[in-house]
A and B are shown apart, each in its own frame.
Chain A
């Protein structure tokens, strides 16, 4: 109440024009900006309190508060960004993979559900492939071998034929026996082959009007995929990836999976 009264006084012209003593009374009552704008009052303030004027104090506090809020805000923003990045990793996954219905080299049915619970490496090719397919399958088999020795059989190598006209079950059986002992060879009729290639974003093109006995090559995409134990796409490896690149990438993913679920697959 007292200070209010004083403020009233101070705001009046009487106060401003009053003597030094009453002026001081006013100053202690309020931080009167009005006063410091006055030439005489300002010089007097300086002489009494040094450089730490009310204006400077206000600026100091305002800057401090401003910085504090700015840092709080930045911190929150960065945390939000990190959270989003993690989310993006899930969201940004290429939409590769999906339902398919094929037959193994033993004549048993095999669908996308059979991929669950294990990591898989999937290569698309054909048994009459001159050099690239066997090279890639050798690389894949060697990588699986290495992972096997550290983690056990948690990565399933798979070969899917893109040559439905010539690659019979028996032919695929003979072909896959050349590579990793656990390699599964899959085939389907033209429609199911087309369908699996579509969901896996694999291109293949057989020459038109081919017969089973014709000698031809199939043009196709030559990378192999790493899929996680949920059957979700992780990575595609091309000719440029070495066996060690593949192993390192798989081990990294196994590590992340272990952090998340406590299991290696």
Chain B
């Protein structure tokens, strides 16, 4: 923290900060995908490297938000796939 309240300014997520956060998030999530893990944190020590960068580049609130959203999106995709397969099955039967 500097004398002129520069800390606050550094906290302000500007475009390039957001970009950096999003990119490290994508890298971490790609690693999770590769290891077949949906819920962040369940991967053990496998994606440690990307996780550290991700948590460094994104605020904690953002990390929580992205992690929650990843799980929700996965659930949504599952439900959607289920519905679609049921629909196509029903079509086949009729």
Contacts and interface: CB of A to CB of B under 8 A. Distances in A.
Interface stretch (B28-36, B46-54, B55-63, B73-81): B55-63
Given A130-B66, A131-B22, A134-B18, A174 B12 contact: yes
A127 B12 contact: yes
Contacts of A170: 9
Interface in A162-189: 170-171, 174-175, 178
B12 A216 contact: no
B15 A178 contact: yes
Contacts of A256: none
A215 B59 contact: yes
Nearest to A215: B61
Interface residue SS majority, chain A? loop
A174 B15 contact: no
B3 interface: no
A53 interface: no
Contacts of A111: none
A9 to B, nearest CB: 82
Chain B contact residues: helix, strand, loop or mixed: helix
Contacts of A101: none
A130 B62 contact: yes
A131 B58 CA distance: 12
A128 interface: yes
Interface residues of B, number: 16
Given A130-B66, A134-B18, A175 B12 contact: yes
B13 interface: yes
Contacts of B12: 127, 171, 174-175
Contacts of B21: 130
B14 interface: yes
A190 to B, nearest CB: 19
B93 interface: no
A217 B65 contact: yes
Nearest to B8: A171
A175 B8 CA distance: 13
Interface string A223-236: 00000000000000
Given A130-B62, A131-B22, 12 more contacts: A127-B13, A128-B59, A130-B18, A130-B21, A130-B61, A170-B9, A171-B8, A178-B14, A178-B15, A215-B60, A217-B61, A217-B62
Interface of B: 8-9, 12-15, 18, 21-22, 58-62, 65-66
17 contacts: A127-B13, A128-B13, A128-B59, A128-B61, A130-B58, A131-B18, A131-B22, A134-B18, A170-B9, A171-B8, A171-B12, A174-B14, A175-B12, A215-B60, A215-B61, A216-B61, A217-B65
